[in-house]
Chains A and B, each alone.
Chain A
Amino acid sequence: MKKKFGVLLLSFILVFSLASIVGAQEVKKEDTFTYVTIGNQNTLDPHFSYDTGSAEIIYNVYENLIAYQGETVTEFVPLLATEVPSEDNGLIKDDGTTYVFPIREGVEFSNGNPLTPEDVKYSILRGMINDRSGGPIWMLYEPLLGLGSLQGLVTEVIGEDVSPADLSAEQSAEVFAELEKVVEVDGNNVVFHLQEGPYPPFLNILAQGASWGSIIDKEWSIEQGAWDGSPETIADYYDPAKENDPLYAKMMGTGPFMLTEWVNGDHVYLKRNDNYWRKPANFKTVVFKNIDEFSTRKLLLQRGDADMVYVPNQFLSQVEEMDGVTVTKGIPAQQNLSGIMNWEIAIKGNDSVGSGQLDGKGIPSKFFADKDVRMGFINAFNFKAFIEDVRLGNAYQSGGPIVRPLLGTSPDQPVYHQDLEAAEEHFKKAFGGEVWEKGFQLTLLYNTGNTARQAACDILKTYVEGINPKFKIDVRGVQWSSFLDTLLQGKFTIGFIGWLGDFPDPHNWVTPYLASDGTFGGWKGEAYAEWATEHTDPLIAEGIKTVNPKDREEIYKELQTLALEEGTDLWMDQPTGHNVRRDWVKGWYPNAMRPGLDAYILDKK
């Protein structure tokens, strides 16, 4: 009896699974697009989002005033605005401090609410009030007010020691009056007033792909519990915890798709917005599936279950030969990798510096403040092997902090080369010969799972140790948490880390790396800050205030040369991007500022 039941059950399972196997082969639906990628989405709130995972979903649901044209990152087309402002059409005025956007009429959000200039104004102000800690909104404050954050504005208007979260209603209104000066509704136009002079990359900051420039529905947002539009309530809506953010998991945009379901870490489903103001999209359903295992993604692609997958650079060779798969390589992505050299290492309680002295068993705090030490390390690094073997040739070598094709770079720019003799010369001169005589010992850390950074550490170790047997380098992998911790506390020696461009302008590259208070520069201690205040800070400030592209180019070239010749850091490379998709995906073209998939431009017919 039991046996019979078992046999029955087994054959039942078998029949059904076989039936579904046969059934599955025919399911290659033309109206569903499946993109399989890694990671997850931090949030779906465009003003909170500062990661590519979130930005890619927001890109397909929300729209900005303007968008990039085709493959370029410098030319624009109108989107929710009807014209791209320029000096020529008179919509950029007052020496580049006033931007006028005529708003498109007849556009509706996917709930049927019409788009109005008021929505645009609300979107910008809501973002600036929301201004979450660690978020992207500094990109609105910097051009519009010349400040870094809402906290900065409150300090200026009310005084120090007041947090925006503690503002009373009157104080809030006072701060809001300043905020409101930057964006104004004028008939059917929205006008931006840059308070602190021109800011050349302002259009980039607002273009599609920048989620912080997304236009949200005022009425709907207030219904959900986002900022109520009142001047007096800043304190209630400033820097929300993610779980209390009303737009965390809800979306309402004007874009070609609408959100149906989001299970963080697993998938996002979008469906077509049939009421879209342009021609409706070709796909009824768009699926973003997160699968961290590369082998699984590869199989999904191979079997045609996925239309497009994310492939890490090192595994590209595994999909290039696949039948029915198209691979596009060499997209100049806005990212780089560099070895940040710590000019003044925090010695206390630091196990990366050995004894903390120049006695052959460690390194002193200001080890990398000596230019000869830096040049010794730089000349010892095998750049060719790194780009050819680790990147498999899919990278440009960097000539400083700025990436191609931005101002200040060129395909034939000077770069570093491995020169072991020069390295030896520099090490012999460093610290008046003491380094060469006594030797040193230090630890290089990388965050585990990042094979490129690990290889960079291993390469540096191999060649530097080969120069003098008294040089000793330990390479150690640590988790992201520990890695971040050593960087923040200035305990690293050389930290291999990359920057991902926020907007395609050299200003976004020289600031984090070279400014005395830059994101990375700020980790390198007083020794670096002193040097940078004198050499790089004035140039960076001049660069962003200069409107003429020719003059700007000269300034950034100078910064690039300065960084390279002084060897402030180990300038390594700019890995190029790529895209892997099935042959039946039509209409795809690259754009370096697109956060990921743009399902609207694609077709499977």
Chain B
Amino acid sequence: MEWQEVLLKLIKNKISLFGIGIIIFFVIISISAPWLAPPADPDDPYMIPRAGWSIQPKPPSEDHIFGTSEGQYDIFYGIIWGARTAFRVGLIVVGISTLIGILIGTIAGFYGGVIDEILMRITDVFLSMPFLVAAIVLTTILGKGLDNVMIALVTFGWMGTARLMRSQVLEIKAEEFIQAAEALGANDIRIIMKHVILNTIFPVVINASMRMGSIVITASSLSFLGVGAPTGYADWGQMISFSRNWILGSQGNALQFWYTVLIPGLAITFFCLSWNLVGDAFRDILDPKLQN
């Protein structure tokens, strides 16, 4: 199937159109962040300004339209700049881990034999630790900070792609035109670049787009557990961890602090929802089993 055809189907599908709409909305927010929420310190725009030192969240008001969370961090500011953080984490982690996965999967699939065996066993080793847990261990060791979170997520996020790529390469390799090229003595890198990668990349890219949502959730889980973004950093997971101790409100007024959990909770849910909707539609379109 061609790119254009897939895109057309995606846009025609109401569900994925909705997803694409939300993604575009978040893109606009991220781009216009400096105008929507002007930073106090332009060198360090990701640190949410504090509107005071009191611990108790304050409800939405004219100055802070979404209210302030624990420690008087402005929720509106955090949401706006948090969108940038989400894109940054998602794109960088998915991008780099996919590249690593492609590299390892291609080498393993293309050369086979001992190389394949070794690479796949290494993949197995990395796969043997639950993703979130492995990320917690590595982030704790590296220390707080978004860069460290990304390093940890990349370190333990490439294996799925590598396996997918390997099986794709094995399929392609069996086909005649590759064997012909090999017989003609074309060099490995050329064959890999020209025939293998071009013919196998499509499912991998789709796989990557579908991982955006879960990567962002994992990154924010780390922040929620207190090993992710630095305190005060514009990150949705962190904003939810600010709400953790207030979610139940006071007696008789269970919803007193609704804004501290609902607003960042909705932001992160919609962000992941949009990618998952698009990914789901993608899969439907490309699932050979579903072709009529």
Write out the residue numbers on chain A whose beta carbons fall within 8 Å of the beta carbon of B54. Answer: 389-390, 392
**Within 8 Å CB of A482, what residues of B?**
143
| B140 touches A (CB below 8 Å) | yes
Give the residues from 302 to 337 in chain A that come closer than 8 angstroms, CB to CB, to chain B. Answer: 302, 314-315, 317-318, 321-323
* Residues 51-88 of B at the A interface (beta carbon under 8 Å): 52-56, 70-71
* Chain B: CB-nearest residue to A325: B251
> Is A555 close to B, CB under 8 A?
no
* Candidates B52, B71, B226; contact of A449 at CB < 8 Å: B226
Chain A 473-484 interface 0/1 with B at a Cβ cutoff of 8 Å (1 = within): 000111100100
Q: Does A298 contact B (CB under 8 A)?
A: yes
Return chain A residues, CB-CB under 8 Å to B246.
318
B27 within 8 A of A: no
Known: A449-B226, A478-B144, A479-B140. A454 touches B231 (CB 8 A): yes
Contact present for A321 and B250 (CB under 8 Å): yes
Assess the B251–A323 pair: CB atoms within 8 A.
Answer: yes
Instruction: Please give, as numbers and ranges, the residues of chain B lying within 8 Å of A299 by CB-CB distance.
Output: 248
Interface contact A295-B245, CB-CB below 8 Å = yes
Partner of B53, one of A298, A389, A448, A449: A389
Give the number of chain A interface residues (Cβ < 8 Å): 30
The answer to whether B226 touches A448, judged by C-beta atoms less than 8 angstroms apart, is yes
Which residues B227-252 have CB closer than 8 A to chain A?
230-231, 244-248, 250-252
In the assembled complex, the CB of B239 is this many whole angstroms from the nearest CB of chain A, namely 15
**Are A294 and B245 in contact, CB atoms less than 8 angstroms apart?**
yes
Closest to A449 in B: B226
By DSSP majority rule, is chain A's interface helix, strand, loop, or mixed? Answer: helix
Q: Are A314 and B140 in contact (CB under 8 A)?
A: no
The answer to whether A315 and B226 have CB atoms under 8 Å apart is no
Given the known interface contacts A298-B248, A302-B251, A448-B226, the answer about A314 and B144 at a Cβ–Cβ threshold of 8 Å is no
Q: In the complex, how many angstroms separate the beta carbon of B137 from the nearest chain A beta carbon?
A: 13
Chain B residues in 8 Å Cβ range of A293: 244
**Min CB gap A326→B, angstroms:** 14
Residue of B nearest to A294 (CB): B245
- Assess the A455–B245 pair: CB atoms within 8 A: no
Q: Are A295 and B248 in contact (CB under 8 A)?
A: yes
A451's partner among B71, B140, B230 (CB-CB below 8 A) is B71
Contacts of A318 in B (CB 8 A): 246, 248, 250
Q: Is the CB of B140 within 8 A of A455?
A: no
What are the residues of chain A within 8 A of B230 when measuring CB–CB?
A: 476-477
Is B50 interfacial (CB-CB < 8 Å)?
Answer: yes
Measured CA separation A302–B249 after assembly (Å): 12
Residues of B within 8 A of A385 (CB): 53
Q: Are A322's CB and B248's CB within 8 A?
A: no
How far, in whole Å, are A294 and B247 apart by their CA atoms in the complex? 10
Knowing A321-B250, A323-B251, A448-B231, the reply to whether A455 touches B226 (Cβ < 8 A) is no
Within 140-154 of B, Cβ neighbours of A (below 8 Å) are at 140, 143-144
- Indicate whether A386 reaches chain B with its CB closer than 8 angstroms: yes
When chains A and B are docked, how far (Å) is the Cα of A302 from the Cα of B254? 12
In the bound assembly, the distance between CA atoms of A478 and B226 in angstroms comes to 11
Residues of B in contact with A (beta carbons under 8 Å apart): 50, 52-56, 70-71, 140, 143-144, 226, 230-231, 244-248, 250-252
Q: A294-B245, A314-B55, A315-B55 are in contact. List 16 more A-B contacts (CB 8 A).
A: A294-B244, A295-B247, A318-B246, A385-B53, A389-B54, A448-B226, A448-B231, A454-B71, A455-B71, A458-B50, A476-B230, A477-B231, A478-B143, A479-B140, A479-B143, A479-B144
Q: List 29 A-B contacts (CB under 8 A).
A: A293-B244, A294-B244, A294-B245, A295-B245, A295-B248, A314-B55, A318-B248, A321-B250, A321-B252, A386-B53, A389-B54, A389-B55, A390-B53, A390-B54, A390-B55, A392-B55, A448-B226, A448-B231, A451-B55, A451-B71, A454-B231, A455-B71, A476-B230, A477-B144, A477-B231, A478-B144, A479-B140, A479-B143, A482-B143
Q: When A and B form their complex, which 7 residue pairs have the shortest distance between CB atoms, in order from nearest?
A: A314-B55, A389-B53, A389-B54, A294-B245, A322-B251, A477-B231, A455-B53
